[in-house]
Structure 1
Amino acid sequence: MSEETVTEQTHLLKDGAIPYSDENKNSISDNDFTTRSSSNNTVPFRIKVIVLCILLTELCERLTYYSVSANLVLFANTHLGFTNPEAASINFIFTGTGYAIPIISGYIADSFIGQYNTIFGSSLIYIVGSVALVLVAAPYDLPFSTSAQSAFYIGGLAFIAIGTGGIKSNVSPFGADQLKDSGPLLIQRFFSWFYFFINVGSLVSFTAVAYIQQNVSFFYGYMIPAISMALAIIIFISARSYYVVRSPKGSLLIDAVRMMWQGLRVKLCCRDAGARNGRITSIFDYAKQENGGSFESSQVEKIKPLGRVIPVFILIILYWTVYFQMQTTWFIQGESMNLKLGSFKLPAAALSSFDTVSVLVFIPIINYGVYPLYKKIFGRSLTQLQRIGIGMIFASLAMLAAGILEGYRLIDVHENPLPQVVAGSTFNASGNISVLAQIPQFALIGLSEVFTSITGLEYAYSEAPEELKGLIMGLYLLTSGLGSYLGSLIIVIVNAASRNPKVRNSEWIPKDINNGHLDYYCYFLAVFMAANFIIYVLMTTFWYKGEGTESEDNVRIVTSAHEPTAPDLVHTHSKNNYDV
């Protein structure tokens, strides 16, 4: 099936099935989610190939990305001479850029070259950066100074950030679009499996690859992700003949900006312009012709999802700041704890695998247990916004747990110091506190992912009209990037605020955290996250108040309307969907 000839959806369901589209996504009844048909429960071979290739592509890409980020702080410390705050900031900026690029790549895919070409082109950029890191870590002497190697390394990270950003905003909607006519359950199951494979790649990175980097060589530790990225490209293009590759339809981004600007102007100069002609539920409504604007109502309705998702996305930013502590401050905390398990020395980066394992464990528990139990007790499913909010609570608790642990670690490291060599550098660790004590905070952040991160992907995809899928997914991923940038900024602000010129090492996060107060920093983020959650509840409760459509009810945090949630997609079968 060629890219040029595919302009319409290919119907994959048998006769009598209800095709899934934006028009009927809110008209699906409960019976459609609970009735099983024995005559339509086999996944076509084409669908299996598509799903498997996309999931394996994502697994390999995530293995590459996390293999780079897992020990980035350690490599920057031990091989390039960066301090802890500098290395943490590099990690934050690298991560932030990788999540900021998707809004650009989403726009490019929507407007110019399509999702398939954007994914493929980004993959080529990605592998260039991966090879650059292999060269920097090569065991032979390079004819470059340390500063030149640092510049080359950062350049490689930049290529990787651009590559992963280009893939991020397009691969999940590209996969979901392949299943668009297969029904909402199969699409939502795809997102669950998509996230599952992400965490499989993460698990391999934070265990096997991290061990090789820390105990064998960074050269081999960076060669593995480079090979993995090459494999991702091969797997992705191997299924090209099976994909439905749609031509770009153009992005509504420019129209959205014009409507926003016009809506603001009409609202400010003619406050009652729309009150006489109908309800105003969004700033975009002021851009309608009947309300004093110049746009047709149908044009505005396509853009209005932006008005619903942006406030939610803004309040998810701090969640990602907390989440990315795993690869920065929690990593620094972990390498200053006892890494020995008997005669085996655990890689500090392997602690992130506890987050991954918790995600893999909690996904089925929550889908099969918590969600159905909640629906049985309360007679309704948790809405998407409710699930996102629950994840914020667990993120706050994770930082609280990290702060409590750090308080005990600081006491122990001064009473029972343990010289510990990590990747050739010696750290004073707490002799009596094992690094396994970090498991609770990693488990809590993993639990938060199941609620906030997975649901965020579903929310971004389900709210986006066809012409805005790449853009809205890019906006959602941008929250991760902004969260990472915010983390870097918070470290700078916290250290500046806590620095006392008369006291040496007075910063909360100094070069040697044994002389600082990382516990205060963790407590600060825990309180900040809790305050963010309160604002989120107030905003989502009152932002959608008075919006009466069924679509709007589905995203209201206080609604009791039914929406297809995780228990629906893993616990029941639809007569119009395939079993997976």
Structure 2
Amino acid sequence: MRQPDKKMSPKAEKDNIRKKSFVHQQRPLYFTAAAEPLIIVEAPSPVRKVSKRRKSDKSKGTEEEAEKEYYSKQMTVIGDLSTQKQLKNAVGNGAAKFTQRRKKGKYSPNSTECESAARQPQKEEGILQSLRSYPTGVFFMLGNEFCERFSFYGMRAILIIYLVVDHKLSDNVAKVVYHSFVSLAYFSPLFGSILADNFFGRFRVILWVSLVYVFGHVLLSVGAIPVLDSLVRKTLDYSGLAVIALATGGIKPCVSAFAADQFGDDQQRQRTQFFSFFYFAINAGSLLAMGITPRLRTVQCLGADHCFPLAFAIPGLLMLVAFLTFLFGWRNYKITPANKGNILWKVVRCIFFALRRKMRNTCWGSKGRSHRRSPDHWLDYARPKYDEHLIAGVKSMLAIIVLYIPIVFFWALYDQQGSTWVLQARRMDGRIGWFTLLPDQVNTLNPLLVLILVPLFEAWLYPTTNKMCKVTPLRKMAIGTILAAVAFCMAGFLQIKVNDTMEPQPESGYVFLQRLGNHSGQFSVNNSDFILPAKLPDELKQKVHIGAENYTFSLLGGTNETPEEDSNNFNFSLNLGTKVPKSRVVGLFLLEDKSPVGVQFPYSTEKTDVGKTRFYFLLLPNSPLNGAKCYALDDQGKAVASSTMANGAFVDIQPGFFSTSQFYHIAFGDCAGGDERPKCAERIEVHARMGAAYVVDLVSSNNSEPVELVRPNSVNILWQMPQVFVMTVGEILLSVTGLEFSYSQAAPSMKSVVQALWLLTVFFGNIIDIVISQVQISDPVEEFFIYAALMFAVIGLFVLLAMRYKYVDEHNLEIPDSPERSRRSSDEYSSSSSDRRSDDDRLELGRGAVAGLPPPALIEKADR
């Protein structure tokens, strides 16, 4: 039992009561009541005046009761409670526990004992019960986001392949078009945010821009129809890409913010939980799109081997579904009108106004016209036109965006996963057992790894590493940039192996001549000393490197060493002008009646498109097989490809999604049974290795095995997985951490501006890709190592900037609203809020959603 206090003077008694006052840090406490959303309780100010009510507490009973009553009176509860009794119990328990601890002398100003006691939940709310309390409109937003992300990532996944295969663009030109599209998609959000904030509001921008989005997909799908004129197709395709880039950027800053608007102030917990579902919808849409859309393009339609109209139409259809889903939820939305004020535009005007006054003041000062004391910071010149809140926010923002300069180069490397890395995968063997992975499906691994690794890093890696060394956000971001450079070094070494499987190209002004046939004679060329021997120097491929001219081959007798003129002279003319393909197959035969004959056709030394295996036919002009139909049959006897036979004609075998064997049969001659499972008189077994080209000799009577013209893709596509994994880890360390770091270090009024500037780093990164692609580096190996070297150089700059950066507590970024609050010292907190990412800090980030800003770590993939 507590002993009565000794008699003391009124002043001493007053001082004693003040000492016993609870000095609390000014940060929100989070209580979870049973079956209730998150309750935010605002703690009292750190310095308090003792109220008259407090002075009379002694007459009411024990000091514990007075402490409990005072503590309860100072709180403001945001949100609905099932019963007020639950909050009183939680507050009472926390206050009583604090008083008891204070009596034992264990109280310290940084103690959070009361927070811990009050934050303990009475009863966890079930997921289904929580979903029932969601506003109806957010479910329409989830469906809208899933479909929109499917449409964007679906068409983006196959874009680089479409430009190379269908438009026949070179790799460098295709990369310029691809990165121009991506850069525009990340620059246009600035216009979308201005339209939403200043003119139309988020609802109208999403509604009308989504309709424009659908129109862009229609243009792209129609432009992919192969029967249209080339100029018409290019006009439709490039117009469609521009419209899609503007549309996706237009709705990007509005969708997540509009979804957050649907929750009330008393639904903080539901709002935070909702963005977990929102994040899942984004990744699910992108994951399915990257897996399905590349398969759709492999369908044969409209007389072409690829069905790009279908592959682009399905994402367009999903965007139409996204628009209709959003439209159907109209009556359930909470629509907030435009506030006629865009913070980004205010920031730009504030900066330019301060710079103009700074320059004017500098000029006047040099002439002796100004005797006023110069401000401490150049932004202070914006006073008094702009208020202190805005100026302080801009200062905090400028301190952060300096660190964004090196991050631009990270995005220059990262976004090449959809261009350069896909082009690298085209030259690799995609067969993995019975399964075939297409080159534009490799990026499916990225969202899958993000879904797996982000929770793993948060729950295990970061806490474990923090026990050994201090892990700050800037250190994680620096490691992310290093991993990006390492990933490109890995890609460079892999490309060296891929280059070994590439067919060498003839020098300028020369062609490769591939000799086939059963004729064993030698030929003089243009009646000169140059002889085309029966056995060419290239023993593997019987290939010779000669100038691109017009030739006459004259048959010689004798041997390779002692050629003599043959009495039965045979002349064979060959036009190898510079405008013809760089390689030719020449077939020289000796027929059964001993008469010589020669045939020839051009072929390409380039690899076939996306892993196809090509088989050329070598036929005589009077062969009965000319004009006949041939089929490529799988091991089940099903026709997978067909062609009309002729000299130089070919049939392409495309690897199936599932295939039990790499061996096929080329069937021709008298065929019956229809085109699906034909039964033909003649069959030749062939080994269809991805990327290779062969010639099938149908002149010789023995139907010898196909001769290899172009080497197959022998490097398996799984060797690309390590670099994808390393790049994804780098993305998690830099992208997710970087945006969350920016949010924690920027003033609350600048958080939306920081998000916009973060998107601009992606824009400038793709501009770097465009510039380097315009240089047209011929060897991909050199290009990979150039990017890696640039990234390593930039890492040094980033480390220097990070070493000079001083962390600020995100709570100290608030503009003081009272003299007492302004006296708060940062000494009450630890050195960095980012170094002590407690649950309260993470939930505090979620409070940005009240102003239309969702938690950055959860919606990062929406911005990517």
Q: Do Structure 1 and Structure 2 share a fold, with TM-score over 0.5? A: yes
Cα contact 1:77–1:84 (8 A) shared by 2: yes
Cα contact 1:137–1:218 (8 A) shared by 2: yes
Aligned to 2:293: 209
Residues 391 and 246 (structure 1 numbering): CA distance in 2 closer, same or farther, change over 3 Å? farther
| 1:75-474 to 2 correspondences below 5 Å | 75-138=162-225, 141-142=227-228, 145-178=229-262, 181=265, 193-216=277-300, 217-249=307-339, 250-267=341-358, 269=361, 280=377, 283-289=378-384, 294-378=385-469, 382-413=471-502, 420-422=608-610, 431-459=713-741, 471-474=753-756
**TM-score under structure 1 length normalisation:** 0.78
Query: In 2, Cα distance between the equivalents of 1:267 and 1:433?
Result: 61
Query: In 1, Cα distance between the equivalents of 2:373 and 2:277?
Result: 48
Aligned to 1:556: none
Query: In 2, Cα distance between the equivalents of 1:176 and 1:388?
Result: 28
Query: In 2, Cα distance between the equivalents of 1:451 and 1:106?
Result: 27
Query: In 2, Cα distance between the equivalents of 1:91 and 1:15?
Result: 45
User: Which is greater in Rg?
Assistant: 2
The farther-off stretch of 184-193 and 81-90 is 184-193
Match 2:40 to one of 11, 14, 17: 17
Secondary structure of 1:82's partner? coil
Question: 1:413: Cα distance to partner?
Answer: 3.3
Cα contact 2:198–2:338 (8 A) shared by 1: yes
Query: In 1, Cα distance between the equivalents of 2:840 and 2:165?
Result: 46
Question: 1:213: Cα distance to partner?
Answer: 1.3
Tell me the amino acid that sits aligned with residue 164 of structure 1: T
Cα contact 1:103–1:474 (8 A) shared by 2: yes
Query: In 1, Cα distance between the equivalents of 2:813 and 2:152?
Result: 36
Query: In 2, Cα distance between the equivalents of 1:274 and 1:332?
Result: 64
Aligned to 2:12: none
Tell me the amino acid that sits aligned with residue 285 of structure 1: D
Residues 260 and 570 (structure 1 numbering): CA distance in 2 closer, same or farther, change over 3 Å? closer
Query: In 2, Cα distance between the equivalents of 1:329 and 1:252?
Result: 37
Secondary structure of 1:432's partner? coil
Secondary structure of 2:713's partner? strand
Percentage of matched positions with identical amino acids: 25
Residues 168 and 400 (structure 1 numbering): CA distance in 2 closer, same or farther, change over 3 Å? same
Tell me the amino acid that sits aligned with residue 833 of structure 2: H
Query: In 2, Cα distance between the equivalents of 1:565 and 1:171?
Result: 31
Tell me the amino acid that sits aligned with residue 224 of structure 1: I
User: Which runs of 5 or more structure 1 residues have no equivalent in the other structure?
Assistant: 1-11, 496-507, 510-516, 554-558
Cα contact 1:388–1:455 (8 A) shared by 2: yes
Query: In 2, Cα distance between the equivalents of 1:48 and 1:77?
Result: 46
2:789 pairs with 1:527: yes
Cα contact 1:100–1:478 (8 A) shared by 2: yes
Root-mean-square deviation (Å): 4.2
Tell me the amino acid that sits aligned with residue 774 of structure 2: V
Aligned to 1:484: 766
More strand by share: 2
Cα contact 1:93–1:485 (8 A) shared by 2: yes
Residues 214 and 449 (structure 1 numbering): CA distance in 2 closer, same or farther, change over 3 Å? farther
Query: In 1, Cα distance between the equivalents of 2:371 and 2:138?
Result: 46
Query: In 2, Cα distance between the equivalents of 1:98 and 1:228?
Result: 19
Residues 157 and 338 (structure 1 numbering): CA distance in 2 closer, same or farther, change over 3 Å? same
Residues 468 and 571 (structure 1 numbering): CA distance in 2 closer, same or farther, change over 3 Å? closer
Secondary structure of 1:433's partner? coil
The farther-off stretch of 83-92 and 416-425 is 416-425
Secondary structure of 1:431's partner? coil
More helix by share: 1
Residues 419 and 522 (structure 1 numbering): CA distance in 2 closer, same or farther, change over 3 Å? closer
Deviations along 1:440-498, whole A, 9 cap, x unmatched? Answer: 111112112222223344456566777666544332212212211221111223x3xxx
Query: In 2, Cα distance between the equivalents of 1:527 and 1:385?
Result: 21
User: Which runs of 5 or more structure 2 residues have no equivalent in the other structure?
Assistant: 1-34, 44-75, 77-109, 301-306, 505-539, 541-604, 615-690, 693-710, 815-829, 850-857, 859-864
Tell me the amino acid that sits aligned with residue 533 of structure 1: I
Deviations along 1:116-169, whole A, 9 cap, x unmatched? Answer: 222222211111111122212346x33xx2122011111111111111101212
Secondary structure of 1:338's partner? coil
Question: 1:531: Cα distance to partner?
Answer: 2.3
Query: In 2, Cα distance between the equivalents of 1:465 and 1:357?
Result: 33
| 1:65-84 to 2 correspondences below 5 Å | 65-84=152-171
Query: In 2, Cα distance between the equivalents of 1:309 and 1:571?
Result: 20
Cα contact 1:64–1:225 (8 A) shared by 2: yes
Aligned to 1:505: none
Cα contact 1:94–1:161 (8 A) shared by 2: yes
**TM-score under structure 2 length normalisation:** 0.54
Cα contact 2:37–2:267 (8 A) shared by 1: no
Aligned to 2:512: none
Residues 15 and 527 (structure 1 numbering): CA distance in 2 closer, same or farther, change over 3 Å? closer
Tell me the amino acid that sits aligned with residue 721 of structure 2: I
Secondary structure of 1:17's partner? strand
Deviations along 1:410-464, whole A, 9 cap, x unmatched? Answer: 1243599995443879756753211111001111121122222233444565667
Match 2:833 to one of 541, 562, 567: 562
Question: 1:396: Cα distance to partner?
Answer: 1.6
Cα contact 1:102–1:169 (8 A) shared by 2: yes
Secondary structure of 2:313's partner? helix
The farther-off stretch of 384-393 and 439-448 is 384-393
Query: In 2, Cα distance between the equivalents of 1:251 and 1:29?
Result: 39
Question: 1:186: Cα distance to partner?
Answer: 6.5
